Structure 1
Amino acid sequence: MKVTLLVSEWCNVCPNAERVWRQVNDEKDFELEVLDVAQPEGRKVIAEKLIKTVPATLVDGELKKVGVPGAEEARELVRCAPPREGGAEGREEAAATMTMRRGPRHMVRSAVVYLALGGLSLVGWGDLLGGGIGLFHLFTYGFIAFMIFGVAEHMLPRFTGHPVRTGWLQAAQLGLLHGGLWLFVAGRWFDVIPVAGSGAALMWVGIGAAAARLMPLVWRPSTAEVAAERSSRTEAA
């Protein structure tokens, strides 16, 4: 059994629908697919099924629900699916999801905090460089870099269909970025150049860790491209 949930990035109730279906997917053994209608796969489905509103739920290709289903309503739609052995641990995590995960959410939150801290230069000195190059980097590196990495980590898996690497490399990236930034700021603020240099080096290593996590998603063909190529080969045969 396969459940397809059609969503949109700008739909404010779509995350609620996804949470319901992921909860039910933890209990029942069925395939759950979340498609953004802004992407080719999602556009194809809404064109074929003449769907005009999201969120929309299809079960085995048949439209069953438009809007956010209740938990009991969702369970009823998949009542024929067997119970999942091992609960949530028995389910593979999907590569694409509407709900922002902990890693990218931490990045975006950090960016907002660094934006506020960088703004201290505007409050205290009237311009971003007034508080020195250290506070300036709270804005240029802290806000801009963390926001870019957070949004990229959230969006790229949805665009490519590939999961982003987590685990120790993600933890190392966060530690290097935060630690390097604060060492750099402290070194410049107290005019201790070796400390600032060490912080800058750690920041560059952190950027390298981010690239190591994100670049494979860009270089590999997306799942949609692979599926289209297989389909064309099948038709040619």
Structure 2
Amino acid sequence: MSDGWHPLFVEFVGVPGVGKTTLATALADRLRDAGFEVYQPNNRVDALSPMVRVSMKAAYSGLLCVTNPRFAAKSIGALPWRSLVESSDTRSVSFNWFFVNGVIQRHNRKRGISVIDQGPLQGYWSTALSEHPKVKFRIESLLRERYRTVPTFVVQVVTDRETITDRLASRDSNWSRVKPTVDDGYSLEDAFDVFDELKDLVDDLSSQYSQFEELTVVNERPTDITTNVDEIVSEVNRFLSS
């Protein structure tokens, strides 16, 4: 890497159970082996005990408010305050919105590659899954502002619905808001419909900003991981050299 090399975010998006975290971890290991400075801020925080994890997320959220008060104020205006009072789910989504944007704020000052499996774009998916169209529009506007100046390579991870159903059924019922059945959560239909909206947004951002690119990979079988990581590494190297 040259002295003029800038930070890069590799951000994974996809419905729950599609393999974002698995691919992100495999990619980070491969990039480190290739000599890159790699950060995994989400993994570092998620590995902490619950109390320390909440404290770290609060610290990142505070960092966003201090270093980018304009964006933080707009975020406050965009969030659904009535739902914040009534719904613990909305409170969690909103808290994580500040956390993931705090991560971007912190690591956009570091030389290296930040690999993120739950970033602002996935935050849009989480918000859009349950909120009013006006809220989605305001969050989308914030994302357009955010990615205008943040070098980002987005990996859209996809697979078929049967595979997601099987994966969700094999996990703890509290692991995701999306459930194999609609009796106790959001349906797979909801999840895929909102992800289609997110894909349209990613396509639009990619066409608007030269420092924003995307790649779609299919992650159906364990053997797909190596193939997908090979392709992502190749595209990241091309992105960095362009």
Mark yes or no: TM-score above 0.5.
no
Query: Which one has more relative contact order, counting CA pairs under 8 Å at least 6 apart?
Result: 2
* TM-score category (smaller protein): under 0.3
* Larger-gyration structure (1/2): 1
